[in-house]
Amino acid sequence: MAILVWIEQRQGRVRGVAREALGEAQRLAASLGGPVVGVCAAAPEMQAGLELPSLGEAGADQVLLATHAGFGLYDAAGYTATMAAAVAAVKPATVLFGASAMGRDLAPRVAARLGVGLASDVTALAVEGGRLLARRPVFAGKAAQRVAFPDTPAMATLRPKVFAAGARAGAAAAVESLAVTVDEAASARARVQKVAAAAGGKMDLTESEIIVSGGRGLRGPEHFALIEQLAEALGATVGASRAVVDAGWRPHSDQVGQTGKTVSPRLYVAVGISGAIQHLAGMSSSRCIVAINKDPDAPIFKVADYGLVGDLFEVVPALTEAVRHLNAHV
């Protein structure tokens, strides 16, 4: 039975979470059977730029495309109708979405329309005894659940940056159009007017390969320049602890931890962050953790792969300089 994958596009470009979900779907197809069918909703003029046949390389055997004048920007009602139409046509056993801002909004609507359960932000899928099981972090990563799906189709959203896109060089997906009846009145009741770019084109923390986070050790918002300079040298995104967000030094979108973002970058550098349990929950799944703190007993050192004990006001500029030097000579 087919595995259906939501192909998220933004401004006519297919996003990485969709390729990751296709890769995982293709891997599952080995034990669950296929085909892997992508579903995309877009404005008609976007079709050529989406390069949907190339999604064969990421794992799609087929892509169903629904076009509509109102599908250029996210249309919750229209996209829900698209996914419901695809499920009715394909009758999949499994439906996957990326757990992006869009996927987290759309997938529950589709699940509620179909009357089936949904597992959010899944970090592993496995087939045991013929049934699909999902692993998903809870309590922001302090623990994980294993869940099974009593309903058909099984539905899940996949955490970004955890699953690998397929690499089927040269494979092309067959693209077919999907007819969708759009309820214009429903779409008009929540209409995206525009998407404003984030200041400085900042990347979302959940999609960042490297994160440099600052905490109360910085003593004031003006000293975040040190963090920004190190982040720039590393090609990293700036994060923050709850303490400094609550103090108003940084916006909430920068917060890492249980009431902020849960992140798993390749490298996480914690500067002047002592390591409260709610912060550790949000970053402990990072591949490599570096802690810079003047207190050698700070809990952050218990999860760090590499620690540097010292005054961040001296250490961080020296580290920034060393990284710049490395960049210039490699």
Residues 251-282: b if buried by 16+ CB within 10 A, e if exposed: eeebbbbbebbbbbbebbbbbbbbbbebbbbb
Q: Does 307 bind other proteins (CB under 8 A)?
A: yes
Contacts of 238 (CB under 8 A, 6+ apart): 202, 211, 212, 213, 214, 224, 227, 228, 231, 250, 254
Q: Are 30 and 67 in contact (CB under 8 A)?
A: no
Q: Does 148 bind other proteins (CB under 8 A)?
A: yes
Stretch of 34-42, 74-82, 169-177, 224-232 contacting other proteins, by CB under 8 A: 74-82
Residues written for the chain: 330
Number of amino acids touching other proteins (CB under 8 A) = 102
Please say which residue, 14 or 111, places its beta carbon nearer to other proteins. 111
CB of 214 to other proteins, least distance (A): 17
Show contacts with other proteins in window 91-110 (CB under 8 A).
Answer: 100-102, 104-109
CB of 32 to other proteins, least distance (A): 18
Please say which residue, 164 or 188, places its beta carbon nearer to other proteins. 188
The 3-state DSSP class for residue 149 equals: coil
Show contacts with other proteins in window 127-146 (CB under 8 A).
Answer: 133, 136-146
Show contacts with other proteins in window 204-223 (CB under 8 A).
Answer: 204, 206-207, 210
Q: Does 115 bind other proteins (CB under 8 A)?
A: yes
Show contacts with other proteins in window 257-276 (CB under 8 A).
Answer: 258-260, 262, 266-267, 276
CA 221 vs CA 68, 88, 306: distances in Å: 46, 53, 26
Work out whether the CA dihedral 300, 260, 268, 156 comes out positive or negative.
Answer: positive
Q: Does 201 bind other proteins (CB under 8 A)?
A: yes
